[in-house]
Amino acid sequence: MIKYTHTQILNIPKIELKQIPELFNYINRPTEEYLAIQRVANEVNQQAGILLVIGVGGSFLGARAVIDACTPYFRTLNGVEIVYAGQNMSGSYLKQLLTFLDSKDVYVNVISKSGSTMETALAFRIVKQYMEERYGFGSKQRIIVTTDANKGTLKQIAEKEGYRQFEVPTNVGGRYSVFTAVGLLPMAVAGIDIYEFVRGGKQADQDHSTLDCSAYQYALTRFELYKQGYAIELLASFEPRLNKLHEWWKQLFGESEGKELKGLYPSTVNYSTDLHAIGQFIQEGSRIMFETLIHFENIEGDIEIPFSIDNIDGLNYLAGRSMNSINSTSKDGVALAHEDGGVPVIHIELPKLDAYHVGYLMMFFMKACVISANLLEVNPFDQPGVEAYKKKMLELLKEDVVKVRA
C-alpha cells in the first residue's frame, strides 16, 4: 500500500529488534463506540452549524489533520464548520471566537485526557459560561466531553454537569489517540467517513507487524541518518491540505523521541510555497537535514492549463497538462535537486488522498515512531519535558496572585 523508497542512503545496516512492538490494539474499539460517535455526530449535524473543538496537542491535532486532509478546499463536507480553541492563551483569539460563535448554532467537544491541561481548561471555563448564558439548561446537551474514563478534573465536571462523555483509553497517550473518540468524533461531525479511516489504520497495523515492513525500514533509515550526524528531518508535501498532517507528524515524532538529549528535530515544509523561502537553505545551507516527501497519487479535483494564442508567458509547452501532473513533476525535480545538494530524500507514496489512506498513513507513522524510539532507546509514550514549562508557568502565575493580593 505504501510505496517506500529512499535514495542516496546506501547500505543501511539492519538492527534486529526482537519484534515490532504491538501497542496498537486499542484501534479495535467496540462497535458500540463507533455507533455512539456517529449518532452524536448526526445529532450535531442536525442541530448545529458549528462544532467548537477545545483541546491541545494530541487532543486535537489528529482530528484537525484528518479533517483538513479530507475536506475540499473552500467548503465543508456537510455544512458543519469545525473551529478550534484551547491551543493558545490569546485573549484576543477567544474574545473574537465568541463573537464569531454568536451568529451560529454551537456544539462543543472538549477533549483532554488528563483533564487539567491549562490551555484547554481555561478555554473551556470561558466557553462553558458562554454556552450556559446562551443556551441555559440546553447547554448540557450541547457540550460533549472526551476524557479519561475514571479520573481527572474534566471527568469530575462532566459528572457534575451530566454532560455526555466519550473515553480516552487509559493506555493511549494523546499523540497516539487519533483512532479513538478523541479524533473520531470531530471527524465524524465534519463528515469524514470514520469507518474508512479506521479501516485504513487497521490495514496499516496488519501490514506493518513484521521486520520486513516499510515502517521498520523508514525507522531504520532515519536512525542511520541520525547516526551519520543529520540533525533534522523535514517532512514535505506538495498539497496544501496536508499542512496540518505535517503538524500532527511533528508532534508525534518530536514528543516521542526528543528526550535524554537524543532525537532528530522534526520540521515541516509546504511546497511549493516554501521552495521560495526556506528552500534556499535546504538547497545550499548547513548540511544537517534530510527530507521525507509524502505524496498521494490521486487527489480529487484537477484543472488543465489552457492554450493561449499569443503565448506571451511562454507557457504553451504546458498547455493541455493538468496542474496536478505539473505538481507531481515539480516534486520529482525538487527531490533530484535536493539530493544533488546533499539532502538525502525518503519517498512515502500512497495511491489516493482519502480517509482510508490518511488512516493508513497515520498508523504507519505511529508504528514507525514507536520502532524508531526503540532504536534510540527512549520511551515513546512519555513527555517529561512538557511538564517543565508548565511548572515554571504555574510558579509565575501563583507569584502574580500573591502580588495582586499584597
Q: How far is Cα 230 from Cα 258, in angstroms, rounded to an integer?
A: 14
Q: In angstroms, what is the minimal distance from the CB of 117 to ligand PA5?
A: 3
Q: What does the per-residue mask of binding to ligand PA5 show for 358-397, with x meaning CB under 6 A?
A: -------------------------x--------------
Closest residue by beta carbon to ligand PA5: 174
Dist CA 87 CA 69 (whole Å):
19
- Selecting among 119, 233, 255, 291, the annotated active-site residue is 255
Q: Confirm or reject binding of residue 258 to ligand PA5 (CB under 6 A).
A: no
Q: Kindly indicate which of the ranges 3-11, 109-117, 316-324, 369-377 contains the residues binding ligand PA5, using the contact rule CB under 6 A.
A: 109-117
Number of residues that bind ligand PA5 (CB under 6 A): 14
Residue 284 designated active-site: no
Query: Least Å distance between CB 152 and ligand PA5?
Result: 8
Annotated catalytic residue, options 18, 160, 276, 391: 276
CA count, 13 A, side-chain hemisphere, 65:
28
* Least gap, CB of 390 to ligand PA5 (angstroms): 9
Applying CB under 6 A, among 113, 259, 331, 347 the residue interacting with ligand PA5 is: 113
Specify the residue, 113 or 155, whose C-beta has the smaller distance to ligand PA5: 113
Closest CB 17 distance from ligand PA5, rounded Å: 23
What 3-state class would DSSP assign to 387? helix
92 — phi, psi (to 5°)? Answer: -60, -45
Q: Is 57 in the site for ligand PA5 (CB under 6 A)?
A: yes
Give the contacts of 231 (CB within 8 A, at least 6 positions apart).
264, 265, 288, 289
Of the candidate residues 52, 58, 237, 376, the single one contacting ligand PA5 (CB under 6 A): 58
- Residue 59 as a binder of ligand PA5 (CB under 6 A): the answer is yes
Other beta carbons within 10 angstroms of residue 314's beta carbon come to 8
Contact between 255 and ligand PA5 (CB under 6 A)? yes
Q: Sign of the C-alpha dihedral, residues 69, 72, 78, 84? A: positive
What is the DSSP annotation of 209-266? -STTSHHHHHHHHHHHHHHTT--EEEEEES-GGGHHHHHHHHHHHHHHH--TT--PEE
Task: Find out whether 103 and 49 touch, Cβ atoms under 8 Å.
Answer: no
| Cell numbers at 25, concatenated | 490494539
Contacts of residues 384-389 at CB distance under 8 Å and 24 or more positions apart, as own/partner, are: 384/259, 385/258, 385/259, 386/255
Letters for 218-237 (x = contact with ligand PA5 by CB under 6 A, - = none) are --------------------
- 390 part of the active site: yes
The DSSP 8-state label assigned to residue 174 in this structure reads G
Residue 180 in the binding site for ligand PA5 (CB under 6 A)? no
Choice from 56, 131, 158, 368 touching ligand PA5 (CB under 6 A): 56
* Closest distance to ligand PA5 from the beta carbon of 175 (Å): 3
Q: How far is Cα 1 from Cα 349, in angstroms, rounded to an integer?
A: 8
In the annotation, is 398 catalytic?
no
Interaction of residue 120 with ligand PA5, rule CB under 6 A: yes
Of the candidate residues 174, 200, 201, 344, the single one contacting ligand PA5 (CB under 6 A): 174
- Work out the number of other CB atoms within 10 angstroms of the CB of residue 48: 19
279 contacts ligand PA5 (rule: CB under 6 A): no
Q: How far is CA 168 from CA 80, 182, 190, 194, 353, in A?
A: 24, 7, 20, 17, 27
Cell of 397: 502565575
State which of residues 114, 165, 328, 330 lies at the interface with ligand PA5 (CB under 6 A): 114
Which residue ranges make up the site for ligand PA5 (CB under 6 A)? 56-59, 112-114, 117, 120, 173-175, 255, 383
Task: Give catalytic residues, as residue numbers.
Answer: 255, 276, 390
